[in-house]
């Protein structure tokens, strides 16, 4: 049986499909960051490392030459999964 | 799955160790990645996904995708593709948090 | 612990930079989340052009590691940087249970040499166990000497996928074929035979001779291009004994709990399906969708980015000394644009010398001028080129810097 494109997984971590993205787009969302907020795409373990380029291809930047961030998917610290306990200890040197 | 002969690369002898994954014992070579050891033992699936319960194996091989995350006893989650296997390591499927700090 | 320089990323760029600074007396720490230094060098295995023999990345890496050690470079291995603060504090943690104590590293200069990540390329079934990126196949096959599968299909036709298909064959894998990916909203040019042939045409010295000969003949005339894909040999053209199907695409990867087969169809010059689908049994699949710079730390640091054709993604804009828009923050290697190990190494040297100069430990500033020249030379003669417009891309990057940040 051939899968329809709607079931195509785009975000592997959160198992977000192309259909999920299309539905979000139909609801008026049109940047990578908005799609992330609606579907959790990019919010999983890898924090968008694998899917960022995919969602950006669907919702490309509008033309600024010099970008503040390379993608509308914002990047926040911590950029790797660390426990809260670990973060709390950072001040304790 | 292990390469015994190679026309270009030298195959060096390595120290054999044993470890467990989900209570099954496997042998591997000290210092290779957990993912490589399991792959050589034809164990590919390392976990199932939280939402759709589908199996995942290693995917990117360099620590970016976290699909190969595996639980190391007395520590917590490690990425099988970048963590060297050690003698008597105890591994299991299933996320149990990032690391079990005593706090 | 405080250092003159911290370098994040222990691949060829990071290691060379560390060597240049340490040998002149600078205090350097090299941080990598892998326990083994070398980055992607460890998995590289390919034949160099002009009968230069085989490039065995593992050996090059070991030489560099020994050299770095001899100059007293400090190492933090199996350690990831999860946050940074200006001028500079790096927050680190162990990745594999070796040392759970939180750590902090401070330094005056920072080099980000974090390399590239592989892009995803969704195809139905791509999340099945035993679907790997070509990078993972490279690591398994060449670094750990474990075959990814017995009968393996490669999806994606580019320099890297051809190289890894060959490496797998050398290790005893039956590589059943190298195919295009299915046409969908993500694959675009990658799924179009004409685009793929065009790509190789302009990288003549980098592609296997046979592909070039046939592709080149067809691409000479516009009519020939259309004919190329229609009259392409049904059983594929063999490259290093591996069938290369420039006009067939994998539509789906099938299997229950792991890869069992692929579904293939013939496609026209634009990647549209032409024929009935057929199935091929395979037990593993490797996908090549291309590389893109790994730049999260540069974002946290506040660098400005630019997207330039030829560099394969958004890169932190930098001057000719590899300093970014954030003073004391330098970049080197694939984070500056995807090029390959030899160029990365020369960039590492340049960044290292630039910083050594700022530290007042570089005796002769001409060394920097020479290092800039060396990067250009290696770029132009490189065996592995990831994008045909990389030289133009670099020139554009330079122009953009000069326009916005002057000289």
Q: Which DSSP category does C108 fall into?
A: E
Rounded (10°) angle between helices C366-381 and C390-405: 140
* Contact yes or no for B5 and C135 at CB 8 A: no
* Contact yes or no for A3 and C304 at CB 8 A: no
pLDDT digits (tens, 9 = 90+) for C160-211: 899 999 999 999 999 999 999 999 999 989 999 888 887 776 555 555 565 5
Residue C238 CB coordination number (10 Å): 11
Q: Taking an 8 Å Cβ-Cβ cutoff, which residues of chain A contact chain C?
A: 2-3, 5, 7-10, 12, 18, 47, 49-51, 53-54, 57-58, 61, 65-71, 75, 77-80, 82, 86, 89-90, 92-93
Map out the domains of chain B as residue ranges: 16-92
Q: How far is C292 from chain B (nearest CA, A)?
A: 12
Kindly provide the ipTM of the predicted complex, given to two decimals.
Answer: 0.92
Tell me, yes or no, if the pTM score tops 0.90: yes
Distance CA C400, CA B29 (A): 50
pLDDT digits (tens, 9 = 90+) for C22-75: 999 999 999 999 999 999 999 998 888 777 788 899 999 999 999 999 999 999
The CATH architecture that domain B16-92 belongs to is Roll (3.10)
Domains of chain C: 2-117+291-405 (3.50.50.60), 120-287 (3.50.50.60)
How high is the pLDDT of residue C202? 59
Question: B touches which chains (3+ CB pairs under 8 A)?
Answer: A, C
How high is the pLDDT of residue B100? 39
Distance CA C387, CA A51 (A): 21
Q: Comparing A89 with C309, which gets the higher pLDDT?
A: C309
Helix residue ranges, H only, C112-157: 134-138
Q: Which DSSP category does C120 fall into?
A: P
Beta-strand (E) ranges in chain B?
Answer: 16-21, 24-29, 47-48, 55-56, 69-72, 76-79, 90-92
The CATH architecture that domain A5-89 belongs to is Orthogonal Bundle (1.10)
Distance CA C271, CA C196 (A): 10
Sign of CA dihedral B91, B93, B98, B103: negative
Q: Which of C95, C140, C172 sits opposite B78 (nearest CB)?
A: C95
Q: Comparing A4 with C165, which gets the higher pLDDT?
A: C165
Q: Containing H/E element for C8? A: strand C2-8
Closest C-alpha among B61, B1, B64 to residue B29: B1
* Contact yes or no for C54 and B101 at CB 8 A: no
Q: Containing H/E element for A57? A: helix A52-58
| Residue environment code for C358-380, b if the CB has 16+ CB neighbours within 10 A, otherwise e | bbeebeeeebbeebbebbeebbe
């Amino acid at each position: 049986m051939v899968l329809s494109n709607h079931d195509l997984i785009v975000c592997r971590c959160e198992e977000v499909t192309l259909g999920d993205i299309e539905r979000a787009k139909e609801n008026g969302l049109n940047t990578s960051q908005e799609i992330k907020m609606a579907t959790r795409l990019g919010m999983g373990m890898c924090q968008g490392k694998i899917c960022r380029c995919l969602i950006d291809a669907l919702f490309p930047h509008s033309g600024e030459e010099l970008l503040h961030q390379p993608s509308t998917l914002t990047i926040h610290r911590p950029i790797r999964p660390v426990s809260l306990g670990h973060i709390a200890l950072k001040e304790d040197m | 799955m292990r390469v015994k002969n190679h026309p270009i690369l030298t195959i060096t002898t390595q120290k054999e160790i044993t470890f467990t994954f989900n209570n099954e014992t496997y042998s591997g070579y000290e210092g290779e990645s957990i993912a490589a050891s399991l792959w050589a033992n034809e164990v590919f699936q390392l976990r199932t996904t939280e939402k759709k319960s589908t199996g995942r194996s290693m995917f990117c091989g360099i620590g970016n995708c976290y699909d190969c995350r595996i639980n190391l006893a007395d520590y917590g989650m490690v990425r099988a593709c970048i963590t060297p296997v050690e003698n008597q390591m105890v591994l299991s499927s299933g996320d149990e948090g990032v690391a079990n700090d005593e706090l | 612990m405080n250092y003159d320089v911290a370098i994040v990323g222990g691949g060829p760029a990071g290691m060379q930079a560390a060597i240049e600074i340490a040998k002149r007396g600078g205090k350097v720490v090299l941080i990598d989340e892998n326990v083994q230094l070398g980055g992607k060098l460890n998995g590289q295995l390919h034949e160099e052009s002009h009968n230069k023999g085989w490039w065995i990345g593992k050996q090059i890496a070991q030489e560099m590691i020994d050299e770095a050690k001899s100059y007293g470079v400090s190492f933090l291995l199996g350690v990831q940087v999860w946050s940074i603060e200006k001028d500079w504090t790096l927050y680190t943690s162990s990745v594999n249970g070796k040392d759970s104590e939180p750590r902090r590293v401070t330094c005056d200069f920072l080099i980000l040499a974090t390399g590239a990540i592989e892009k995803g390329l969704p195809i139905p079934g791509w999340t099945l166990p035993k679907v790997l990126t070509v990078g993972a196949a490279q690591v398994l096959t060449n670094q750990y000497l474990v075959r990814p599968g017995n009968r393996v299909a490669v999806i994606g036709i580019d320099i890297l996928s051809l190289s890894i298909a060959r490496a797998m064959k050398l290790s005893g894998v039956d590589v059943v074929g190298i195919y295009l990916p299915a046409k969908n909203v993500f694959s675009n040019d990658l799924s179009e035979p004409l685009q793929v042939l065009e790509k190789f045409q302009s990288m003549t010295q980098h592609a296997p001779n046979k592909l070039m000969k046939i592709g080149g003949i067809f691409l000479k005339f516009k009519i020939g291009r259309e004919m190329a894909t229609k009259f392409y040999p049904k059983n594929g053209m063999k490259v290093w004994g591996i069938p290369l199907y420039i006009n067939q695409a994998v539509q789906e990867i099938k299997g229950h709990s792991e890869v069992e087969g692929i579904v293939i169809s013939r496609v026209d010059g634009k990647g549209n399906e032409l024929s009935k689908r057929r199935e091929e049994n395979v037990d593993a699949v490797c996908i090549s969708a291309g590389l893109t710079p790994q730049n999260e730390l540069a974002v946290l640091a506040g660098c400005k980015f630019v997207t330039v054709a030829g560099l394969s993604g958004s890169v932190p804009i930098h001057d000719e000394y590899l300093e970014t828009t954030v003073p004391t923050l330098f970049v080197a290697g694939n984070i500056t644009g995807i090029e390959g190990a030899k160029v990365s190494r020369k960039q590492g040297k340049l960044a290292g010398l630039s910083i050594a100069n700022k530290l007042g430990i570089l005796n002769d500033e001409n060394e920097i001028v020479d290092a800039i020249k060396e990067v250009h030379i290696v770029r132009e003669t490189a065996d592995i080129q990831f994008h045909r417009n990389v030289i133009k891309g670099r020139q554009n990057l330079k122009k953009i810097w000069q326009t916005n940040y002057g000289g």
